[in-house]
Chains A and B, each alone.
Chain A
C-alpha cells in the first residue's frame, strides 16, 4: 500500500496519532455495548437502528444514525460535562456583577422553553412571561374543570408556585392562578398555596437544574396540606441523606447545561406498613429505602422520579384503617414525594395523574363514577402552576 511508504518520522507519529484517535473514538463507539439511558442528561439515549432503504429515502435512518452516534459516542457524557464546564470557566471580562445583578439571562438552548438564570447564578428558572394563546386556552379549560370539581366532592386545593409565577427582576407576582381559581370556586372548598415571593426563598425550596421542589419543599408542602385537611400531624423526619452533585434535572437536559448539578437529598420518615397497587397491580412505588442504604448501582436514572416514585395513572395506598376516610389525590409529579406521607392518615388513598390515567388504566376518568366506586370522602388536588397551563387533558374528567 502506497500509504505505508513512510519517509519522514514526523509523518509516522502524526499518522498514527490520527489513526489512534479514529480508532479510540470511532471504532470503539460502534463495537461497545450500547447505553440505553444517560444519568447526566436524564434521558433515554438514541440507539442504532437497522438499515432499510425506505427509511434511508425518507431520511429517518440518517437522522437516527446521527443522533445515535452522538449519544453512543465514546465517553459522550463525560465529554459534554467537561466541555460545558470549560466553557463556563472562560473569562467574562468582569461583567457578571456589573450587568447580571437583578436580571434574567436567557440560557443557550433555553430560549424555546424560556429558561434563564437570575443574577447569573447556577439556578435555572422559567422566565415569567405572557402566556401563549395555547396556554391561555389551557388555563381557561383547566380552571373551569377544577372549579367544577368542588361541586361534586369536598375539595381541597394545594397550589405550588414555580419560578414562572414570580418575576424576581420586578419583584412582582405575575401568574396568580390560585387567586383566579378561588375567584371561580363556589361552595365548600379550601385552598392554600405554596408561594415563593423572593429569589432566596425559591433557592431554598427548589432544585438548581430541575422543575421540582427539593426535599425541603415537599415537607413544607406536607405540613401545609395537613393544616388544610385539618389533621394534626406529628410526623417528623427521622434522618436526612444526601448524594452530592449527582442529579441533573429536566432543566439541565433542556438547556444542555451540564456544568451544574444538584445535591440530591431525601428526608427519611417512619411510615406504617401498607399495600401499594399501581395501575391494578401490586407493586413497589418508590426507592427511598435503597437511596438511604445506598443500595443501587450506577446513576442512570432520573433521581426525582426513581427515588420518590414516578408518575402513574393510578396508585392506591391501602393502610387498612377502615375507621378513617378514603382520599382521592389528583396531582402532577409534585405530589410524588409526599403521597405516602399523606396516605398514612387515611384508609385508602387513590392518587390519580390524569395525564396518564386513560392510557395506563384503560378507560376515561369520570370523577362522579370514581367517587362513587371507591367511596371517596375527600378530594385533594396537589397541583403546580405548570399544571394550569399544560394541555387540557390534565383536568379532563374532573368536571363530570
Chain B
C-alpha cells in the first residue's frame, strides 16, 4: 500500500487513527502492530509471514545474546548467526539471481534463476532489525522482552517499506511511552501533506519527462538537450519521491506520537559531494557509518585500510540499492569522488566561488543519477553516445513528445523548492498574525490538489520501494 494512494488516505489511515486513538495507551502498540501487518499484507500477503518469522527469530536470538552475554565466544557466535540469517534472507531474495546470472556468465555454468519476487522494503526492515540485535549485543539498548513491542518497532508502517531506517535506540523509549496531542497530530499531518505534495505533485509529474527518455532510450533519436532535460527531471524525481516519502513517514510517526530523525536536509543545496552525502538519505549513510565503517576501523587506521573500509562501504551502498552492475558502478563512482575530495579536491572546492562549487556538485550528482537510472549498461552506452552526437534533432524529439512540455512547469517548481525556499517562506509568513492560517490553507489546497492528481493518475510508483 502506498501512502500516496486513495486506499491509504481514505480507508486505511482513518480506520487506523480511529482505532488507535480510541484504544487505551497500553493497547496502542497492539493496534499499531496489527495495522502495520495489515498494511504490509495488503501489498505482500505472502511475504508478511517472512516478516513475522523475522520478528520471532530476532526476538529470540536477541534474548539468547543477552542471556549468554558472559560467554563472550557464544554471544559473538550468536550475533554472527543473527547477521548471517538476516543478511542471508536479504541475499536470497535480492541478490541470489544476480549472483547466479554472473556465475553463469563468468564460469559458463547453467544454473537456473530462482525468480523470487523481492519482498517490499526488505532492505529497510533488515537494517532496522540488525540495528536492534547488534545494539543489544553492544549493550547500547536494553533487551525488549515484549515480542509485540519489538514487532511494532520492526513492522511500524510509517517507515516500514521505504525508510527512514529508524534505529531501535532512537525509539526505544517512545515504544514504551510517548505523548500524543492535537498540536503533535496537526504538525504530523502538516508534514505528511508536504511529503504527499512533493510526491504526487512534483515527483510523479517530472517522472513523465524522465521516463520518456529512460524507459527505452534506444527507441528514439535523442539529442543532448533531451538527455539533459530528462536527467534533470530524474534528479528531481528521485529527490521529491524519496524525501516526500520520508516526510510522510516522519509526519505519520508524529501523528502516532513518534519522533523520527530527519532523512534529508536539502541535499541539492550542498557545495561538495561530501556535503551532499551528509544531507541525502541520512539514516542509511549513518547506519553504514556506525555498523560497517567504524567497526572496520573507520579512518583510525593505515591509509590502505582506510581506503579498503571506504571501498567496502560504498560497494555495499551501491549494492544495497539494487542487484545490478549499474548500482555497483554508482557506488564506485561516489567512492572515487569522495576519496578525491577527502584527499585534495575538497580544499580546492572550498576556494571556488560558492555558485561554481554548487554547479560542480550538481553536475556530479546528476551524472550519478544517470548511472542509477539506466536499465542496463547497454542503455548507458546508448545515452552517452547520443549525448556526444548533437546531430539528433532536439526539435524532432520535442515534437514527438510534445505532451511532456507542460510537465516542465513542475520541473521549475521542483528546482526552486530543492533549496530551503519553502522553509524561509514559512518562517517569514509565521511572523504575521494570520500567517499560520494562510500556511494551513496552502497545505489544505496542496492536499486537495494531490488528491485530484491521485484520482486522475495511474502513474504513482515509489522508486525506493524496490530497495
Residues of chain A at the chain B interface (Cβ within 8 Å): 1-8, 10-11, 13-15, 17-18, 21-22, 25-27, 29-30, 56-59, 62, 65-66, 69-70, 73, 76, 79-80, 82-84, 87-88, 90-93, 95-96, 98-100, 103-109, 117, 120, 256
* Interface CB pairs A-B, < 8 A, 23: A2-B21, A2-B180, A4-B182, A6-B182, A7-B182, A10-B440, A11-B186, A14-B186, A14-B444, A17-B440, A17-B444, A21-B448, A21-B451, A25-B10, A27-B14, A59-B45, A69-B10, A76-B455, A88-B406, A91-B409, A99-B402, A105-B399, A120-B402
- Are B406 and A87 closer than 8 Å at their CB atoms? yes
- Are B436 and A10 closer than 8 Å at their CB atoms? yes
Determine the chain B residues whose CB is within 8 A of the CB of A117 once the complex forms: 402-403
- Are A14 and B190 closer than 8 Å at their CB atoms? yes
- Are B10 and A11 closer than 8 Å at their CB atoms? no
Contacts A26-B10, A99-B395; A62 near B409 (Cβ below 8 A):
no
- Are A79 and B455 closer than 8 Å at their CB atoms? yes
In the assembled complex, the CB of B457 is this many whole angstroms from the nearest CB of chain A, namely 8
- Are B399 and A15 closer than 8 Å at their CB atoms? no
Identify A95's interface contact among B208, B405, B440, CB under 8 A: B405
Asked if B228 is at the interface of the complex by the 8 Å CB criterion, the answer is: no
- Are B7 and A18 closer than 8 Å at their CB atoms? no
B389-419 CB mask vs A (1 if < 8 Å, else 0) is 0000001101111111110110000000000
Determine the chain B residues whose CB is within 8 A of the CB of A7 once the complex forms: 181-183
- Are A62 and B42 closer than 8 Å at their CB atoms? yes
- Are B21 and A83 closer than 8 Å at their CB atoms? no
- Are A69 and B11 closer than 8 Å at their CB atoms? yes
Identify A3's interface contact among B185, B208, B444, CB under 8 A: B185
Contacts A6-B182, A66-B5, A99-B395; A79 near B400 (Cβ below 8 A):
no
CB-CB nearest in chain B for A83: B456
A18-B447, A66-B6, A92-B406 known; 4 new pairs, CB 8 Å cut-off, are: A7-B182, A27-B14, A56-B41, A79-B456
- Are A95 and B182 closer than 8 Å at their CB atoms? no
Identify A57's interface contact among B14, B45, B458, CB under 8 A: B45
Determine the chain B residues whose CB is within 8 A of the CB of A62 once the complex forms: 7, 42-43, 45
Identify B208's interface contact among A1, A6, A103, A108, CB under 8 A: A108
Asked if B177 is at the interface of the complex by the 8 Å CB criterion, the answer is: no
B438-467 CB mask vs A (1 if < 8 Å, else 0) is 001001100110011101101000000000
Determine the chain B residues whose CB is within 8 A of the CB of A2 once the complex forms: 21, 180-181
In the assembled complex, the CB of B374 is this many whole angstroms from the nearest CB of chain A, namely 19
- Are A84 and B456 closer than 8 Å at their CB atoms? yes
- Are B405 and A93 closer than 8 Å at their CB atoms? yes
- Are B400 and A103 closer than 8 Å at their CB atoms? yes
- Are B403 and A106 closer than 8 Å at their CB atoms? yes
B35-77 CB mask vs A (1 if < 8 Å, else 0) is 0000001110110000000000000000000000000000000
- Are A65 and B437 closer than 8 Å at their CB atoms? no
Identify B186's interface contact among A15, A30, A92, A108, CB under 8 A: A15
CB-CB nearest in chain A for B444: A17
- Are B399 and A99 closer than 8 Å at their CB atoms? yes
CA distance A286 to B453 in the complex (A): 38
- Are B456 and A105 closer than 8 Å at their CB atoms? no
- Are B9 and A3 closer than 8 Å at their CB atoms? no
CB-CB nearest in chain A for B451: A25
Determine the chain B residues whose CB is within 8 A of the CB of A106 once the complex forms: 400-401, 403
CA distance A3 to B437 in the complex (A): 20
- Are A70 and B21 closer than 8 Å at their CB atoms? no
Asked if B330 is at the interface of the complex by the 8 Å CB criterion, the answer is: no
In the assembled complex, the CB of B219 is this many whole angstroms from the nearest CB of chain A, namely 10
CB-CB nearest in chain A for B454: A70
Taking chain B's interface residues, is the majority helix, strand, or loop, or is none over half, making it mixed? helix
Determine the chain A residues whose CB is within 8 A of the CB of B185 once the complex forms: 3, 15
Number of A-B contacts (CB under 8 A): 139
In the assembled complex, the CB of A382 is this many whole angstroms from the nearest CB of chain B, namely 34
Asked if B189 is at the interface of the complex by the 8 Å CB criterion, the answer is: yes
- Are B458 and A100 closer than 8 Å at their CB atoms? no
Determine the chain B residues whose CB is within 8 A of the CB of A29 once the complex forms: 10
CA distance A93 to B402 in the complex (A): 11
CA distance A328 to B371 in the complex (A): 62
- Are A15 and B42 closer than 8 Å at their CB atoms? no
Determine the chain A residues whose CB is within 8 A of the CB of B458 once the complex forms: 109, 256
CA distance A334 to B68 in the complex (A): 81
Determine the chain B residues whose CB is within 8 A of the CB of A91 once the complex forms: 406, 409
User: 9 nearest interchain CB pairs?
Assistant: A26-B10, A103-B399, A105-B402, A90-B406, A83-B456, A99-B399, A10-B436, A99-B398, A14-B440
Determine the chain B residues whose CB is within 8 A of the CB of A105 once the complex forms: 399-403
CA distance A223 to B330 in the complex (A): 66
- Are B405 and A107 closer than 8 Å at their CB atoms? no
CB-CB nearest in chain A for B179: A2
In the assembled complex, the CB of B136 is this many whole angstroms from the nearest CB of chain A, namely 32
Which residues, 145 to 161 on B, are CB-close (under 8 Å) to A?
none
The winner among B9, B43, B208, B396 for most chain A CB atoms within 10 A is B9
The winner among B43, B189, B400, B409 for most chain A CB atoms within 10 A is B400
- Are A83 and B455 closer than 8 Å at their CB atoms? yes
CA distance A6 to B183 in the complex (A): 8
CB-CB nearest in chain A for B449: A83
B169-185 CB mask vs A (1 if < 8 Å, else 0) is 00000000000111101
The winner among A22, A82, A99 for most chain B CB atoms within 10 A is A99
Contacts A95-B402, A105-B401, A106-B400; A14 near B189 (Cβ below 8 A):
yes
In the assembled complex, the CB of B185 is this many whole angstroms from the nearest CB of chain A, namely 6
CA distance A87 to B449 in the complex (A): 12
CB-CB nearest in chain B for A12: B182
- Are B6 and A70 closer than 8 Å at their CB atoms? yes
Determine the chain A residues whose CB is within 8 A of the CB of B208 once the complex forms: 108
CA distance A76 to B10 in the complex (A): 14
CA distance A109 to B404 in the complex (A): 11
Determine the chain B residues whose CB is within 8 A of the CB of A83 once the complex forms: 452-453, 455-456
- Are A65 and B46 closer than 8 Å at their CB atoms? no
Determine the chain B residues whose CB is within 8 A of the CB of A26 once the complex forms: 9-11, 14
- Are A100 and B399 closer than 8 Å at their CB atoms? yes
- Are B180 and A3 closer than 8 Å at their CB atoms? yes
In the assembled complex, the CB of A125 is this many whole angstroms from the nearest CB of chain B, namely 13
Determine the chain A residues whose CB is within 8 A of the CB of B437 once the complex forms: 10, 13
In the assembled complex, the CB of A328 is this many whole angstroms from the nearest CB of chain B, namely 42
The winner among B6, B404, B458 for most chain A CB atoms within 10 A is B6
CA distance A253 to B274 in the complex (A): 48
CA distance A29 to B190 in the complex (A): 24
B103-131 CB mask vs A (1 if < 8 Å, else 0) is 00000000000000000000000000000
The winner among B7, B10, B400, B458 for most chain A CB atoms within 10 A is B10
The winner among A90, A93, A98 for most chain B CB atoms within 10 A is A90
Determine the chain A residues whose CB is within 8 A of the CB of B190 once the complex forms: 14
Determine the chain B residues whose CB is within 8 A of the CB of A80 once the complex forms: 455-456
Determine the chain B residues whose CB is within 8 A of the CB of A10 once the complex forms: 436-437, 440
B6-33 CB mask vs A (1 if < 8 Å, else 0) is 1101110010000001100000000000
In the assembled complex, the CB of A344 is this many whole angstroms from the nearest CB of chain B, namely 45
Determine the chain A residues whose CB is within 8 A of the CB of B448 once the complex forms: 21
- Are B408 and A93 closer than 8 Å at their CB atoms? yes
CB-CB nearest in chain B for A23: B14
- Are A21 and B444 closer than 8 Å at their CB atoms? yes
Determine the chain A residues whose CB is within 8 A of the CB of B189 once the complex forms: 14, 18
CB-CB nearest in chain B for A8: B183
In the assembled complex, the CB of B187 is this many whole angstroms from the nearest CB of chain A, namely 9
CA distance A26 to B11 in the complex (A): 7
